[in-house]
Amino acid sequence: MIAKVIVDVPSRQTDRPFDYEVPKDMQGWLEVGSRVGVPFGGRVVQGFVVAVAETAAVDSKKLKAVAELLDHTPPLSPDLIQLAEWISDKYCCPLTIALQAMIPAALKGKAETTVTLADDSRTVFIESSEWAEYMRRSGGSVKLSALQEKFPLSANEVKAAIREGALLERVAIRDRLSVKKMLTVFPPGDRNEALEALAGLPARAAKQREVLRYMIDHEQPITMQELVDLLQTTSGTVRALAEKGFVVIREVEMDRDPYAGREFQRTAPLPLTDEQKAVFAPIAEAIDNRDSRVFLLHGVTGSGKTEVYLQTIEHCLQLHKQAIVLVPEIALTPQMVERFKGRFGDAVAVLHSRLSNGERYDEWRKIRERRARVAVGARSAIFAPFDRLGLIIIDEEHESSYKQEESPKYHARDVAVQRARQHGAAVVLGSATPSLESYAAASRGGQAAELAGRGSALLPMPVRVGGRPMPPVHLVDMREELKNGNRSMFSRQLHQSLASRLERGEQSVLLLNRRGYSTFVMCRSCGYTAQCPHCDISLTYHQKARTLRCHYCGHAEITPTVCPSCESEHIRFFGTGTQRVEEELSKLFPGIRVIRMDVDTTTEKGSHEKWLTMFGERQADVLLGTQMVAKGLDFPYVTLVGVIAADTSLHLPDFRAAEKTFQLLTQVAGRAGRHELPGEVVIQSYNPEHYAIQTAQQHHYAAFIQEELRHRRYMSYPPYCRLILVTLSHEQLPLVIAEGEKLAGLLRQAVSEAGLSASSEEGTTSRFMDILGPVASPIPRMKDRYRFQCMIKYRGNVDAVGMLKRSVRSLAGSNGQHQVQIGIDVDPQVIL
């Protein structure tokens, strides 16, 4: 039996399966998906079995053998391996990186060497040494690291013994952690005997009597810790009872359930509204028919999308199938988790990044062992090891956090569609503000849908449950405020609205729109922002050189000191901190209770939850924060939402800036007036005439999308084309530039050889491929490496990934190695 193994050595040269012989005793256990330790390049490395075969490609006598089988249940299934192959291919990453992304971090092992004394005949010459004596006392086998630690001076002796074969070496890969074990006390087996024993205990052993009494009465195992705490005794007392055989103490494997001890109030399904029924039916039908269709559920905030999710999952469970629900990390609040736990109880496993490795591993095991049937989690939950998937839901599908920024740079939405195909599962993409890509794919017959290459069905829910009105949105022109002498960051309108909320004891959410750390220059008098003349994108302010730069084409200019448009001197770079807003709030409203949520106040584990719980209990008047206050919150007493500066994300050097701004404003506005109390929204802006802000004010998605699609088409950006970002880096600048030029040259040659047009002519040509760059990356030096990038734009039936792979290969030297590091991002989300 031969195992084909992908070794955990992530490089382009080792990115293929290697053959290993499977020892007889492993043959019954080893399967496709098994994790193994194999000898590779003089050491033992971890790997995954991706196939088994009867014969090897090369002479099998020369084959090395699998050194160790790491799990008795394979952590990966054949369908996940297939999915990893798809990811590796589509996103140009080594297969091992895709495979590693699918298993919990706890299973990423490290090598550990054990040594064993050989037969007596050979141990003669080490007889007298201390370390050999120690080994004999330990039963003949110890970890090499233990010998190293205890007998540092005997290193040479030990090494010689290994060389001579007197010590046998065995390398194993140990998991970073094992299951958590807890000392647990078990009640006596025979009640009558125990009662007799109790009577026989002397009166002075009062504590022992009390413990035994408790164990007899409760008849349930209890952890040592709990028992000791409960009865105010010591573990010594319990051990004394165990020694007499009255109770049993054993280590028991525990699940580290992060939600242990939390009561989730069970909820019953609500009778669906007519709108909800209309979208439920086709989804249920697809699940019934094992039809891997993709639905875009476009429902305004408060339209009851979550109830639709819950009931389609219920439908799925009735058919004995499983479901995955992806939510953005930032929205994985207790509120969201509660809604799923409340409906499905223990059948829900929750996976998010704030779990410890151990907690994550336990949730993952719950899924694999079929104790959980619904997985709710962030991006990587798409790899939940289910075997009968019926439904995948992606809530807030437009969120850029579904794209992983490090390798494998996959988009969970695309992976979901692929995984659903394997299982015959339905996919539901839900959002109040669908991404342009998804919207284009779902709007039937549109040119964009064709270009995006995937059709899906649009399911609209245009009104709120119970016909509740969308909150009115007041747009405040901050230029006017300045003209009228108000230099505060609060407009008179927002100030007044806040005051009346305080008076009425209602709550407010304040958003400081600040994405990333990029700063731009804006005129406070007229709203002018500096744009790149070639790219239609805001220039970024570089403090060091005091210049403005374009991150796409490299254009640079001197920062103006007066506004080129109105000649005002109120032109400066922009960026306001949450802390400053908080200070100003306290000045304006003495005694105001503010909860501030930003990266500073939410680094501690559980702090996010703590703040939201406090706000939910009305311990604060204002919840102030960055993007994290915009998503998925549902508080009945929130009647005012204020946006301090809507423009900050509008001028980021990113072609998605308008889309992101519209989405954010719509999301945060949706937090107001979701229940009985009517809500109100105040948006402050220096560019109130911008279409992203205008359409957000009107809750008019269709109008926004129309205008935005027009721009994208004109500039030839997704969804009218696709992008691949290639980044080259090295310590030496000239080398990066030279290799960048070479790569761009190879690509351009490939484009012309394929007879492709290099220009898109305003999005009308059906096939094209264009190579932009190389230019310095937005972050031109990182960790002492210079970075340059090329952008590939393409459309239609073009194998751009294949062409790129071939070009990258021919860039390599004769030894197959590259002089510079090359990173590839297919369908990049963040271009900053």
Annotated binding-site residue? 523: yes
Give the containing element (helix H, strand E) for 725. strand 722-730
Which of 271/591 has CB closer to ligand ADP?
271
Q: How far is the C-alpha of 434 from the C-alpha of 398, rounded, in Å?
A: 5
Q: Is 397 in the site for ligand ADP (CB under 6 A)?
A: no
526 binds, among ligand ADP, Zn ion, none (CB under 5 to 8 A by kind): Zn ion
Distance CA 648, CA 518 (A): 9
- Shortest gap between Cβ of 274 and ligand ADP (angstroms)? 10
The rounded distance, in Å, linking the Cα atoms of 389 and 320 is 9
Count of CA atoms in the C-beta half-sphere (13 A) of 611: 24
Residue 296 near residue 434 (C-beta atoms within 8 A): yes
Give me the least distance between CB of 636 and ligand ADP, in Å please.
Answer: 8
Helix-helix angle 305-318:274-288, to 10 degrees: 30
- Of the candidate residues 305, 366, 631, 660, the single one contacting ligand ADP (CB under 6 A): 305
When asked if residue 314 is in the footprint of ligand ADP (CB under 6 A), the reply is no
Question: Cα-flanking dihedrals φ and ψ of residue 761, to 5°?
Answer: 45, 65
Which of 294-302, 383-391, 641-649, 725-733 is the region at the interface with ligand ADP (rule: CB under 6 A)? 294-302
Q: Which of 306, 497, 694, 777 binds ligand ADP (CB under 6 A)?
A: 306
Tokens of 537: 């994108």
Q: Is 757 in the site for ligand ADP (CB under 6 A)?
A: no
Question: β-strands 110-117, 141-143: how paired?
Answer: antiparallel
| Site for ligand ADP, residues 255 to 274, rule: CB under 6 A | 270-273
Q: Which does 307 bind (CB under 5 to 8 A by kind): Zn ion, ligand ADP, none?
A: ligand ADP
d(CA 337, CA 326): 11
- Residue 301 binds ligand ADP, judged by CB under 6 A: yes
Peptide bond into 385 cis (omega under 30): no
Q: How far is the CB of 830 from Zn ion (least distance, A)?
A: 17
Q: How far apart are CA 116 and CA 831, in angstroms?
A: 54
Spatial distance between the Cα atoms of 375 and 784, rounded to a whole number of angstroms: 41
What are the percentages of helix, strand and coil residues in the chain, rounded to 5?
Answer: 40, 25, 40
Q: Counting contacts by CB under 6 A, is residue 329 touching ligand ADP? A: no
Closest to Zn ion by CB, 49 vs 532, is 532
Give me the sign of the Cα torsion angle 193, 194, 195, 198.
Answer: positive
Q: What are phi and psi of 451, to 5 degrees?
A: -65, -40
CB 625, min distance to ligand ADP, A: 19
Q: Transcribe 130-163 into DSSP letters.
A: HHHHHHHHTTSEEEHHHHHHH-GGGHHHHHHHHH
303 binds ligand ADP (CB under 6 A): yes
Q: How many chain residues bind ligand ADP (CB under 6 A)?
A: 15
Is residue 316 part of an annotated ligand binding site? no
Task: Fill in the amino acid letter for 727.
Answer: T
Residue 677 makes contact with ligand ADP by CB under 6 A: no
Q: Does 531 bind Zn ion (CB under 5 A)?
A: no
715 binds Zn ion (CB under 5 A): no
CA torsion sign, 785 to 786 to 790 to 791? Answer: positive
Q: How many CA atoms lie within 13 A of 767 on its CB side?
A: 9
> Residue 307 or residue 362: which is nearer to ligand ADP going by CB?
307
Phi and psi at residue 8, in whole multiples of 5°?
-85, 60
Closer residue to ligand ADP in complex, CB, 584/634: 634
Based on the shown chain and the rule CB under 6 A, indicate whether residue 780 belongs to the binding site for ligand ADP: no
Q: At what angle do helices 206-218 and 191-200 cross, to 10 degrees?
A: 170
Partner interacting with residue 534 (select from ligand ADP, Zn ion, none; CB below 5-8 Å by kind): Zn ion
**Residue 427 burial by Cβ neighbours in a 10 Å radius (0-12, 13-18, 19+):** buried
Q: Which residues contact 469 (CB under 8 A, 6 or more apart)?
A: 673, 678
CB-wise, 675 or 742, nearer to ligand ADP? 675
3-state secondary structure 425-446: CEEEEEECCCCHHHHHHHCCCC
Q: Is the Cβ of residue 261 or residue 271 nearer to ligand ADP in the bound state? A: 271
Q: Contact between 791 and Zn ion (CB under 5 A)? A: no
Interface with ligand ADP, residue 812, by CB under 6 A = no
Distance between CA 709 and CA 167 in Å, rounded? 71
212 versus 550: smaller Cβ distance to Zn ion: 550
Q: Is 92 annotated as a binding residue?
A: no
How far from the centroid of its chain's Cα atoms is residue 444's Cα?
31
What is the rounded CA–CA span in Å between residue 408 and residue 406?
Answer: 6
34 vs 684, which CB is nearer to Zn ion? 684
408 preceded by a cis bond (ω within 30 of 0): yes
639 binds, among ligand ADP, Zn ion, none (CB under 5 to 8 A by kind): none
CB-wise, 278 or 599, nearer to ligand ADP?
A: 278
The contact mask relative to Zn ion for 552-591 (x = CB under 5 A, - = no) is xx-x-------x-xx-x-----------------------
Min dist. Cβ of residue 332 to ligand ADP (A): 15
Cβ nearer to ligand ADP, comparing 30 with 681: 681
User: Which listed option, Zn ion, ligand ADP, none, makes contact with residue 528 (CB within 5 to 8 Å by class)?
Assistant: Zn ion
Spatial separation of the C-alpha atoms in residues 828 and 810, rounded to whole Å: 24
- Decide: is 248 part of the binding site for Zn ion (CB under 5 A): no
172 binds Zn ion (CB under 5 A): no
* DSSP character at residue 701: H
Identify which range of 298-306, 421-429, 701-709, 739-747 contacts ligand ADP by CB under 6 A. 298-306
Instruction: Mark 533-552 with x for binding to Zn ion (rule: CB under 5 A) and - for no binding.
Output: -xx--------------x-x
Q: What is the nearest approach in angstroms of Zn ion to the Cβ of residue 652?
A: 14
Q: Is 302 in the site for ligand ADP (CB under 6 A)?
A: yes
Contact at 8 Å (CB) between 541 and 487?
no
Question: Under the criterion CB under 5 A, does residue 717 sit at the interface with Zn ion?
Answer: no
**Residue 270 interaction partner, one of Zn ion, ligand ADP, none, beta carbon < 5-8 Å per kind:** ligand ADP
Counted residue by residue, the chain has a size of: 832
CB of 711 to Zn ion, least distance (A): 16
Using CB distances below 5 to 8 A depending on partner kind, what does residue 566 bind out of Zn ion, ligand ADP, none? Zn ion
Instruction: Write down the least CB distance from residue 548 to Zn ion, Å.
Output: 11
Looking at 299, 390, 527, 778, which residue binds ligand ADP (CB under 6 A)? 299
Q: What is the 3-state secondary structure (H, E, C) of 473-508?
A: EEEEEHHHHHHCCCCCCCCHHHHHHHHHHHHHCCEE
Q: Is there binding between residue 307 and ligand ADP (CB under 6 A)? A: yes
How would you classify residue 125: left for phi > 0, otherwise alpha for psi between -120 and 50, otherwise beta? Answer: alpha
Kindly state the smallest distance separating residue 342's Cβ from ligand ADP, in Å: 11
Cβ distance to ligand ADP smaller for residue 303 or 578? 303
550 makes contact, choosing from ligand ADP, Zn ion, none, with CB < 5 to 8 Å by partner type, with Zn ion
Residue 562 as a binder of ligand ADP (CB under 6 A): the answer is no
Compute the least distance from the CB of residue 267 to ligand ADP, in Å: 9
| Footprint (CB under 6 A) of ligand ADP, residues 626-655 | 634
Residue 47's H or E segment, with its range, is: strand 43-53
**721 is known to lie in a ligand binding site:** no
What is the DSSP code string of 329-347?
Answer: GGG--HHHHHHHHHHHGGG
The one-letter amino acid at 493? Q
Tell me the two tokens of residue 710. Answer: 């027009």
Dihedral angle of Cα 732, 733, 738, 740, to the nearest 10 degrees = 110
Which residues carry a binding-site annotation?
A: 523, 526, 532, 535, 550, 553, 563, 566
Which residues carry a binding-site annotation for Zn(2+)?
A: 523, 526, 532, 535, 550, 553, 563, 566
Interacting residue ranges for ligand ADP, rule: CB under 6 A: 270-273, 276, 299, 301-307, 465, 634
Interacting residue ranges for Zn ion, rule: CB under 5 A: 523, 525-526, 528, 532, 534-535, 550, 552-553, 555, 563, 565-566, 568
